[in-house]
Amino acid sequence: MIEQEDPYCLRPGESAQLLAGHPWRRFVVLGDSVAEGLCEPLEGYSDLQWADRLAAELTAAAPDLEYLNLGVSGLRAHEIRATQLAPALAFQPDLALVVGGGNDAFSARYDPDRVDRELEAMITALQTAGADVITLGMFDVSASPAIQGWLRPGLHQRMRLLSERTRALAERHGTIHVHLTTHPLSTDPDMYSSDGRHGNARSDAVAAAETIRILGAQKRRANNYTNSAQGGLS
């Protein structure tokens, strides 16, 4: 299969239609390897990783968009906050992607309350500064064939818990939430890279499609609100 024929990926022209006239001009990304982009190449799919693809599609619709990706592989949630939140705020974003907790959840010592506190601190700080915030429920990497069988049940439980807790944070704070954990392809072993910790290029293409569709819906809601407010003032 190739990306252009993949039913879970963007159709030709779909992104341009969804993002036309979007309001965002300063896009910052905070996170770990999912944010930095370590997807494994796959024939037939773009090598452009998830966050960079989002930036490219947003830029295609708004050429003056500024983009900063602070993601660094291997960081836990508290390290993302400690090293990336200040430069992210200094960038003065109006759109921010926050991805974290995956490295925490890989460990049996995963502390969901602590991860929640770190993610919440980043979300609220960015929102207070005026940014719309995107949050993520990650694909369930416990389905990767590179994960040893005895590790899979515990990792599956922790990844699902991280996703549920992140979605609860999203609902509480009104983020733009992308929930991939229960996506039909989340348990497909062909979605994952050979290192057992990341997705491949199809994974990032699917994630980009889901995110852009959600951003398009957010854009429509914002435009409808603006039009309604202007109508009420006339």
CATH at residue 80: 3.40.50.1110
* Banded model confidence at residue 234, pLDDT cuts 50, 70, 90: very low
Flag whether 6 is in a domain: no
**Position 13 in a domain:** no
Q: Residue 66 sits in which domain range?
A: 23-233
Radius of gyration of the chain from its Cα atoms, rounded to whole angstroms? 17
The answer on pLDDT for 227 being more than 50 is: yes
Residue 116 domain-assigned (yes or no): yes
Question: Does residue 15 lie in a domain region?
Answer: no
- Alpha helices (runs of H) in the chain, residue ranges in sequence order: 14-19, 33-36, 50-61, 77-90, 102-105, 112-128, 152-173, 201-233
Does residue 163 carry a pLDDT above 60?
yes
Within a domain: 11: no
The residue behind tokens 């759109």 is 95
Give the CA-trace dihedral at 201, 206, 208, 214, to 10 degrees.
Answer: -170
Which tens digit of pLDDT belongs to each residue from 20-70?
Answer: 999 999 999 999 999 999 889 999 999 999 999 999 999 999 999 999 999
What's the rounded mean pLDDT across residues 217-226?
Answer: 74
pLDDT for 46 equals 94
Looking at the predicted structure, is the pLDDT value of residue 226 above 90? no
Is 122 a domain residue?
yes
pLDDT at 183: 95
Mean pLDDT of 188-204: 89
- 87-112 average pLDDT score: 97
Asked, for residue 39, whether it belongs to a domain, the answer is yes
Whether pLDDT at 194 is above 90 = no
Structure tokens at 162: 């991280």
> How many independent structural domains does the chain possess?
1
Domain-embedded: residue 2: no
Report the pLDDT averaged over residues 6-20.
96
Q: What is the mean pLDDT of residues 86-109?
A: 97
**Is the pLDDT reported for residue 228 higher than 70?**
no
